[in-house]
Amino acid sequence: MAYKFQLGTAYLEGATTYEDTVTAEGAVSGAAGSFDAITATALNVQAGGITNAGSIAGATTIDASGDLTVGTITMAEFSVAADGDTDIDGTLNVEGVPTFQAGAVFSGGITTANAIAGATSISGSGLLSATTFDLDGAADLGGKLTVVGVSDLDGGIDVNASKFTVSTAGAVVAESTISGSGQLAGKELIIDDGQHIGIASDTDLLELSSGELGINGKIVVSSVSELVVDPNGDRPFLVWNSSNNAFDYLSWATFVTGVVGSGLSAANGKISLAAAGTITAIGNQDRDLVEGTNYASASLSAARTYTLPAASSLDDGDVVRVKMAGGVSDTNYAKITCSVGAADNIDGETEIRLESPYAAVMLYKVADNTFRVL
């Protein structure tokens, strides 16, 4: 066996195989090399890289400009399995925008996050908590939605296929019962024809139909304001109309005109004593008498005829008064006669005469076709 020793730099051409350990005090360089194991203070590998290598142990850093391709990566708090599963026990700090092919986040969830944009769905078994929720589309909630504060919904509410809706204008429509312990307030309450309004013990106190409000109980007024009558006004008030069993509107003037009886008159919403208030001068001539007081404003120069109004034009109790002036005598008398063509009578007669100066008489209509002298 021959031995060769070389001092200084040695250049070996071709393949060289060393069966034992080779220790070099300086640098060992070559175009390519195959080692069962290598221990070095520094290893500078050029373009060919390291291939068919076993484990690299004890390296503090691996710095490369290309891809790092390995089967798995295992560290104390970080591991990457061959199928891509990554387990990070510490904090993942991402300065850019992360992209996840799967949408699930487990265990600790997402905390201290800014806006979550582009999510197609957010699901979970716990609490979804946020300062505000801004939903442009529909929200499908399988469980109960509890709102502690005031909810501002610009798009209205539609519950269970229009069983209960609130429009953007504020209209509320419900197909079933709306109940509560507080007040129900609003500008309008619209109920279908033929439906009822009531209380739990009497559900049909009010019955509604087109143009009618039926009251199936008593109306009790606990207190009322003082009635101020405006005789010249047309302010209506309610009166009971027995002909159709309903309340009707009636003005004060119409009411007064309808209730005045004999001896009364109504004008401009006021009632007057017609018999005492009407005074008519009849003069020295033939005249038709009227209800009220008829007085001779001049002495008679000849016999005169005064004709009563037809009894049919007067109410029972109406009175016709006649008061004569001077100049009345048995020749210059005042004849008071019933209306021509009427079947009226005065105490059974068709006429009476006044033959004394300043004579007076009162004739009361007491029945059909009948006057009585008082």
* Residue indicated by tokens 């560290």: 75
pLDDT for residue 270 is more than 60: yes
Compare 348 and 206 and report the one with higher pLDDT: 348
Average pLDDT over residues 97-111: 63
pLDDT for residue 305 is more than 90: yes
At residue 54, the pLDDT reads 67
pLDDT digits (tens, 9 = 90+) for 130-189: 777 676 666 666 666 677 766 666 667 777 767 778 777 777 777 777 776 666 776 666
Average pLDDT over residues 272-291: 82
Give 277's pLDDT tier (boundaries 50, 70, 90): low
At residue 331, the pLDDT reads 95
At residue 238, the pLDDT reads 67
pLDDT for residue 27 is more than 70: no
At residue 196, the pLDDT reads 66
Compare 216 and 287 and report the one with higher pLDDT: 287
- Mean pLDDT check: name the lowest of 157-166, 217-226, 249-258, 331-340: 217-226
> Please, are residues 71 and 82 in contact by the beta-carbon 8 Å criterion?
yes
At residue 343, the pLDDT reads 93
**HEC profile of the chain:** CCCCCCCCCCCCCCCCCCCCCCCCCCCCCCCCCCCCCCCCCCCCCCCCCCCCCCCCCCCCCCCCCCCCCCCCEECCCEEECCCCCEEECCCCCCCCCCCCCCCCCCCCCCCCCCCCCCCCCCCCCCCCCCCCCCCCCCCCCCCCCCCCCCCCCCCCEEECCCCEEECCCCCEEECCCCCCCCCCCCCCCCCCCCCEEEECCEEEEEEEECCEEEECCCCCCCCCCCCCCCCCCCCEEEEEECCCCEEEEEEHHHHHHHHCCCCEEEECCEEEEHHHHCEEECCCCCEECCCEEEECCCCCCCCEEEECCCHHHCCCCCEEEEECCCCCCCCCCEEEECCCCCCCEECCECEEEECCCCCEEEEEEEECCEEEEC
Is the domain spanning 272-373 CATH 1.10.3470? The answer is no
Compare 302 and 65 and report the one with higher pLDDT: 302
Domain with CATH 2.60.120 in the chain: 272-373
pLDDT for residue 32 is more than 90: no
At residue 105, the pLDDT reads 60
Give 59's pLDDT tier (boundaries 50, 70, 90): confident
